Amino acid sequence: MMDLLSTEMNAQEQAQLMHPMVGGLILFSRNYQDRDQLCALVASVRALRPDLLIAVDHEGGRVQRFIDGFSKIPAMGDILPAAKQDLQLAKGWARELGFLMAVELLACDIDLSFAPVLDLNGISQVIGTRAFSDKPDEVIALAEAFIQGMQDAGMAAVGKHFPGHGSVAADSHIAKPVDERSEAEIRALDMVPFAHLMGAKRLQGVMPAHVIYPKVDPNPAGFSSYWLKQVLREELKFDGVIFSDDLGMKGAGVVGGYPERASAAIKAGCDMILLCNDSQGVSELLTSFEWPEQGPQVPARKLLANRPQVAKALEDESRYLAARRIAEQICMG
């Protein structure tokens, strides 16, 4: 999965998107000018490669790539406080916010938001109120409702950052986070929402953390066959798509250059690797790297939007307007 430099594709990017190893496109704020421009950009990509999975990080709060022309989605950690700790009310709101987030992206023919965050709100500098709560049971309840809203609209859910990023302070975008806790502690706390939602078959995708858990494995989770193959696939019976986190992030640098990072992620069990904010790095991978013969275990196209569900959701204007009012109420505090 690659990205684009601006609001239109350039010739190099068109050639890259046609490469058989490219299976997806992730969009950022730099790709957005207004809603009409975004729809035109997506349409031009679809004309080139209709099979591509088009995604964005659009969780709400401080991680929302498109602002003007879209509803402002509150941070997930603001939902329960706004409901005055009434979990049933917060669950109802979470479902409608999941629907609102998804339906606005799907209306622009974007398949996927990498959401929800299933981390706990612990000491992490980069997670914070991106998490629903600091309590596993509240994360489960609210995330499950949010996912239901996404799926009502026809969008798959991708939980991140497995097995949990909330209990380590460093930001893996710019540092190499290390979580020194025991495996038993991680399983008893951070991993609980992931395990529950996989058991309930609520997740269609998972993104592992660029965090090292040295008492479990010397590699970051996204490069660890223990975490991805043994725990995710074998123990938790996860049958969805495993996405690497961005291979351009500082936390991924522990295994070498881009070819080494790609190889390590795939060998560990990732089905789709992300490389963002480095067009030369994408070119390097597409010219010098060969995907292993066995290919991905689960093809990412499984997560393309459910078009009949999308059409039905887009017709439900009263639900959409009610969801917008909920978002505005929470954002206003």
Active site residues: 173, 245
Contacts of 181 (CB under 8 A, 6+ apart): 167, 213, 215
Burial of 19: CB neighbours in 10 Å, binned 0-12, 13-18, 19+ = middle
Residue 65 labelled as part of a binding site: yes
- E strands present in the chain: 24-27, 53-56, 58-60, 63-64, 112-113, 158-162, 205-208, 212-213, 217-220, 241-246, 272-274
**Residue 57 labelled as part of a binding site:** yes
Number of H helices, E strands in the chain: 12, 11
Q: What DSSP element (H or E) covers 254? A: none
Binding-site residue ranges for substrate: 57, 65, 130, 160-161
Binding-site residue ranges: 57, 65, 130, 160-161
